[in-house]
Amino acid sequence: MNTAEAHVSTPMAWWQTESTRIKTAASASEDGSRVAFIALVAFTFILLLSPQAWFPVLKTVRIAFLAATLAIAVHVVERTLHRKPVTPFSTEIGIVLALVGWALLTIPLSYWPGGSVRLLTDNYLKAVAFFWLLGTMITTTKQLRILAWSLLLCSIPLAATGLKNYLVGDVLSTRVPGLVRIYGYVGGSGLTANPNDLALMLNLILPITGALVLMTRGARRALAAFALLLSIAAIVVTFSRAGFLTLVASFLMFLAVLARQKSSGVAIGLLLLALCVPPLLPSGYIDRLSTIADIDADRTGSAKGRWRDTGYAIEVVAHNPIIGVGIGQDLIAMNAERGRDTWRRVHNAYLQYAVDLGIPGALLFIWLHLTCYKSARAVEKRAAKDPALRDLRQLAAGVQIGLVAFAVAAMFHPIAYQFYFFSIGGLAVALKNTCRAEIAKAQLAPGATS
């Protein structure tokens, strides 16, 4: 029995729909605009590496805006000309629309409506647009591989810059003897401008890099392994406690993935290798990590401050449980609750949503996060049944680990409206669309039974 016959003989599921939808998915996959995808990849490089910071002349032409606009415009025109839906509906897209709609509804009651509008237009809608582009434009395994390699290639200069800063002593003044904090990516990228954000971004790319190590052979595997080790080293030298916890969570999740893919020997080998790492850690790193459990030992005072801020944030939510204080207004609300101007955001993305958009906003975001994870997991399980979808299986596992990494990092970063989640979440939607399209092509292939 061939692959297509096996599909037909199984019960209907999310990847098996009526014949017309299968044909539409296959057609969309083949007719997808190459120009739009190239623009999407270009935008990804610009987003992460910020070339305009190195070459100021690029700021005048707004290359990120041009790349994103080109991707959107070509995609919309191509879909319209071929009479295909511009935005194939998915649960994830629906939740995102509801989240943005809720944010818009709360603006009139915001602590500062003008500030809410500014954050929505300057940050949030751009991140959501990237999520939408990933989740609607990518419909082939080849496209997913290209984007995965793009992320890996971006991680190399980011990680190399962090390591270079540590080795040459290009560090921040912490006012704490023995504590070294490097500068972030010197290109000035907003996503990796400080050491904590650099560790976060590398942690999110790391699982995709791990998937490429498992997918490839020869020189490409060597390059992926090099990028993996480089990123891990860079995360360590950031001295980011959240970065360490996120790295550990990703590692444990990776071991679990290897175990369920019946690679327990590799998992055990990696675990034994990890036990050899502590003696190689830089001076002062263990002391830095010890403050995770003993916040009184943190000489910077940041651990205590963030713990107090968690309490203040909960109080703000208790006072504004439904509408919240308005998107992006946690700074003002937290200052009012503290009774003094410290201008520090709540360092927890979930609490940030709850403070700004109330409990409904927080629940919508959590629902979106879980739905993206379930989609990636469903693709991994489905792809495990078909050897032809092997690469899709590994990429799906990588995206799952990335979503777990974000879940941990979000507990320590004010990143609710940035690109971090929407980059990984968009890949989860792309995985689902790609799995459906690949199966559709198999069913429409010569000799397949429909």
Q: pTM, whole model, 2 decimals?
A: 0.89
Alpha-carbon distance 243 to 114, whole Å?
33
The predicted structure's pLDDT at residue 89:
80
The predicted structure's pLDDT at residue 26:
46
The predicted structure's pLDDT at residue 296:
75
The predicted structure's pLDDT at residue 193:
86
The predicted structure's pLDDT at residue 447:
59
Give per-10-residue mean pLDDT for the chain (450 aa).
42 48 47 82 94 85 93 90 82 96 96 95 94 93 96 96 91 72 74 92 97 95 96 95 96 92 86 88 88 80 84 94 95 86 85 97 98 97 93 97 97 94 97 92 66
Alpha-carbon distance 272 to 300, whole Å?
34
Alpha-carbon distance 254 to 249, whole Å?
9
Alpha-carbon distance 348 to 356, whole Å?
12
The predicted structure's pLDDT at residue 188:
53
> What are the residue boundaries of the structural domains of the chain, listed by start?
3-9+17-444
**Residue carrying the six token digits 């997918």:** 215
> Which residues does residue 182 pair with via DSSP β-bridges, in sequence order?
171
Instruction: Kindly give the interhelix angle for 390-409 and 419-444, rounded to the nearest 10 degrees.
Output: 160
Alpha-carbon distance 248 to 261, whole Å?
20
- DSSP letter for each residue of 203-214: HHHHHHHHHHHH
- 3 state SS of 73: helix
Alpha-carbon distance 147 to 431, whole Å?
12
Contact 402, 246 (CB under 8 A): no
Contact 367, 335 (CB under 8 A): no
Alpha-carbon distance 432 to 101, whole Å?
24
Lookup: tokens for 323: 């509408």
Contact 181, 175 (CB under 8 A): no
